[in-house]
Each structure stands twice: as C-alpha cells, then as structure tokens.
Amino acid sequence: MNKVEARKLNDKIQAIYEKPLYEMSVEEMDKAVIDLIIRTFDRFKEQEQS
C-alpha cells in the first residue's frame, strides 16, 4: 500500500468512526478495517445485482 492509498483508507475510516487510525487501539483498527471491507463487499454485491 502506498502513501496515497493509506491516506484514502484513513480518510474513509475517519469519516465513518470520527477518529483517525493513529488514535485508535489495535482492536479498534481491526474492527474498522474489517467493517470497511464488509461495507465495500456489500456495496459491490448490490451493484452486481442491479
């Protein structure tokens, strides 16, 4: 992951959780990243069905 991708991921997580990655505990970070993956997958499935 390059710096641009890392910044985009951090921005998405911060928008959802109102907290940047560097202020999160490891457990919070894990939950946030997994949740973002699930949201992305769900959105992809919805687009595929339309």
Q: Are 17 and 32 spatial neighbours (Cβ–Cβ below 8 Å)? A: yes
Count of residues in the chain = 50
Q: Which tokens is 30 given?
A: 């894990």
How far is the C-alpha of 5 from the C-alpha of 46, rounded, in Å?
A: 24
Residues 6+ apart with CB under 8 A from 5: none
Specify the pLDDT at position 27.
93
Question: What pLDDT, in 10s, does the model give residues 1-50?
Answer: 788 988 888 888 888 888 887 888 999 989 988 998 899 899 999 988 87
